[in-house]
Structure 1
Amino acid sequence: MITDTSGGASAYTPYSEVGIQMAIDEINEAGGINGSQIKLLKESDGSQSTQTPTLARRLIDEGAQVLLMNSGSASAIAVKPVCYQQKILCVAPTNLSAAIVEAPQQDNIWILGPTSAGIGELYAAGMAKAGIKRLAVIADDVPTIQSYVPALVGAIQQGGIEQVANEKVATDSSDVSAQIARVKAANPDAVLVMSLGGQAEVLVQKGLHQQMPGIKRFSLASIGNQPTTWELADAGSLEGLVVVGSIDQENTRTSEFAEKLAAVGGQYSVLTAYQPQGYDGVYLIKEAIEKAGGADDLEKINDAFSQITGYQPHYGGSDFTISFSADKHVGSDGNCGIVLNQFDAENKPSKIWDVYQGTC
């Protein structure tokens, strides 16, 4: 596993790692895969994608037979040549960027999805229904987020929403008042914040709450799935914020997973989208290895992964399924894998956004 313990993605990687470890422990306790126990090797790239290929090769040299990507999307993009050249299955359970699976050298890398473009389509429909016509965008400067901006904002624009401002903030910013002042001057109907979450987004949301009270606000999955980040926000400063989520409490598989997660306990046991995505990523890999008849033939594992269809994940709506093929490297079978949530007065994304939800 390539993870991030110190960089921009470290605000959410611990949550997905909990799900990954839950699945590994379950599988090993049940006898492993074809009688063999799973051993998890780890390297952290700190969301520095220039380091990712070297770390991936190091893991392969140490005996890795599958690569699990648990860092930013830029890291998953950077590892594509290694996956392709080594013919090793690479799975990125939580990443959103469709660029990860675009040609060239995409044959051995897969994401669960939905993608940032799917989120853009959903937000465009929801914003239109909410009467929003003019949108301002504030994005942090990390490569992962900057790779999302064209696809997601492009999909929103194709849905008929005009972009009237585009501001960038550094992840280590201590003052974003100038960016918010320029956004305010553009007179948008709503503001979309695109970030890895953490302190940078809290700073932006605090500024919007103070300088543009009442403005409709939207964000990505990051802050909606970071309970430790919610605690950093001023009281009520996140209220009304609409975020991309994947948790539908009416999905019985999600409820069952939540019970298992609660039993594990610990700092990262508050249910988010990331734990079940990591968990499902491991079980999809297990299915591929079983279909391949073992883990020795790396190409055969990748081919077997491409044949998985109708997998029922532990996140998204009850009807949400994941399927792959040689030409379909995004597993999502529709946008009901996305659940749009809204923050309440206690800075928790406890409500379903009642304006619009996706379907499959």
Structure 2
Amino acid sequence: MNAFTAIRSRRGVLAVAAALACAAVPAWAQQASGPIRIGMITDRVGPAKPYAEPVAQGAVFAVKQLNANGGLLGRPVELLVEDDQGRPDVSATAARKLVDSGVAFILSVSLTPATQQAQNVTMETKTPHMTPSNSGDTLTTQINNPNFWQTGPLGSTQIATLLSYAKAKNYKRVALITDNSDLGQLTNKFFKAGLEKAGVQVAVEEVVPRGSTTAEPQMQKLRAANPDAIFMTGVLTPENALILRAYRQLGLKAPVLGNYNLSVPQTSSVAKGLLDGVVFVDAFDPDKPETKRFIEAFKKDQGTEPYNLNGYGYDGVMLVADAIKRAGSTDKEKVREAMQATKGFAGVMGAKGSSYGFPEGKRTGFDPNGMVVRVYEGDKQGKVVHVGAK
């Protein structure tokens, strides 16, 4: 459910980085048992690329760190990467290829339909499989695959967190503005239902079509409705930038609340100069101790400051490593049992004090109260102003 000028300049870098993460293996790694292989299915050329590549970059960094600290079970870790182009049929083929290559675990960093199709393979082969970043609410329910887990925050959790912030601010009448993409329309629908359930009146709804050159007509209608706050529920970054530009040009004063799309770095470049004071929901708290250590280590190694998408990939690999350590083996059933037993794993993502864990019978592991609301200070993603969905 799942910017990126820097990412574009790194075309092909992930393949090299994945190789480097496993290169120059020290003497301790040269064992007959060979490396522990983790597979990753990502999207390097398709619609999920802007999100998938930075998630994959975080995973590559995690493997590099593991190997620098002795690997797993006294063996090096090797990351095998496959590109599914965001296509379900290709994703299934990639999963089959990784299984045949002897991976102990597969991470999916692609679109929801592609990840669902790959699940058919991992269910059949009983291969542990997880998506560390996808937020689709149906990923663990449409297919009853006991070998699959999801650690990205559910879309419903993201919405509930932003609605909790709105409730704390005592907003009574709000406006919704979205785009006409399928996901934008679905997100708007969920926001509207949540607001109405909370007793908040939706005074006006507007849609900015994909490819528009201005959002002034829609924002003029929002201004006329005089809402207490404006919810941006669209997922298309160019259209969101148009909305923010019209908001500034028309002199609207109602606070703007952005969904998770406003947390991706592309927003800061595309909507430069338009973001100050806008709040948005995120899963990345820079003041969390685990996150601070990750930021410092990533900057030292990569030369750039990481952001939320990098953190998802990093946590995904580290959760897999933790399960393999506790299993004491790469036996698929033992690893499956260990992953399902995960509790209290404090990762890079999530608010201070939050942790990953899988309640009995559940395979979604992000803390329901682990999301935060942050505010833009100029064009920089700033401080946390609200925590959790309570």
**Shorter-chain TM-score tier:** 0.7 to 0.9
Give the RMSD, CA atoms, in angstroms.
Answer: 3.0
Shift of 1:72: 3.4
* Aligned twin of 1:343: 376
User: Following TM superposition, by how much is the alpha carbon of 1:35 offset from its aligned partner in structure 2, in angstroms?
Assistant: 2.8
Structure with larger Rg? 2
CA distance in 2, matches of 1:136, 1:253: 37
**Offset of residue 314 of structure 1:** 1.9
1:286 aligns with 2:321: yes
Distance across 1 between alignment mates of 2:374 and 2:329: 40
Aligned mates of 1:140, 1:63 — CA distance in 2: 43
Kindly state the Cα deviation for residue 247 of structure 1 after the two structures are TM-superposed: 3.1
Question: Given the alignment, which residue of 229, 243, 247 partners 1:204?
Answer: 243
The equivalent residue for 1:33 is: 72
Letter in 2 for 1:115: L
Equivalence for 1:89: 128
The Cα offsets for residues 265-324 of structure 1, whole Å up to 9 and x where unpaired, read as 34xx333222222211111101222233322x3333222210111111123333111111
Q: What is the aligned partner in structure 2 of residue 100 from structure 1? A: 139
- Choose which of 154, 179, 194 in structure 1 pairs with 2:233: 194
Please say if 1:233 is aligned against 2:271: yes
Structure 1: gaps (5+ residues) = none
Corresponding residue number in structure 2 for 1:312: 346
Aligned to 1:217: 256
Where does structure 1 differ by over 6 angstroms across 4 or more consecutive aligned residues? none
Tell me how far 1:24 sits from its aligned partner.
Answer: 0.3
Q: Deviations over 1:107-143 (max 9, x none)?
A: 2221224322122222222212323233433444555
2:312 is aligned to 277
Residue of structure 2 in register with 1:258 after alignment: 295
Deviation at 1:78, TM superposition (A): 4.2
Aligned letter for 1:76?
T
Q: 1:181 to 1:359 in 2, by over 3 A?
A: closer
Unaligned residue ranges in structure 2 (runs of 5+): 1-39
> In the TM superposition, what is the alpha-carbon distance from 1:170 to its structure 2 partner?
5.8
3-state SS of 1:11 partner: helix
Q: What TM-score, normalized by structure 1, do the two folds share?
A: 0.84
Contact 1:192/1:218 (8 A) holds in 2: yes
How far off its partner does 1:208 sit?
A: 3.5
Query: CA 1:195–1:5 in 2, change beyond 3 Å: closer, same or farther?
Result: farther
Query: Are 2:159 and 2:259, in contact at CA under 8 Å, matched by a contact in 1?
Result: no
CA distance in 1, matches of 2:298, 2:45: 24
Q: Does 1:352 align with 2:389?
A: no
TM-score normalized with structure 2 length: 0.78
- Aligned partners of 1:320 and 1:334 also within 8 Å: no
1:23 to 2:57 alignment: no
Task: Give yes or no for contact 1:202–1:233 (8 Å, CA) kept in 2.
Answer: yes
Counterpart residue type for residue 59 of structure 2: I
Q: How has the CA–CA distance of structure 1 residues 102 and 155 changed in structure 2, closer, same or farther, with 3 Å as cutoff?
A: farther
The verdict on how the C-alpha distance between 1:176 and 1:81 changes in structure 2, with shifts beyond 3 A counting, is: farther
User: What is the total number of aligned residue pairs between the two structures?
Assistant: 351
Distance (Å, rounded) in 2 between the aligned partners of 1:230 and 1:140: 19
Residues of 1 paired with 2:42 and 2:235: CA distance? 14
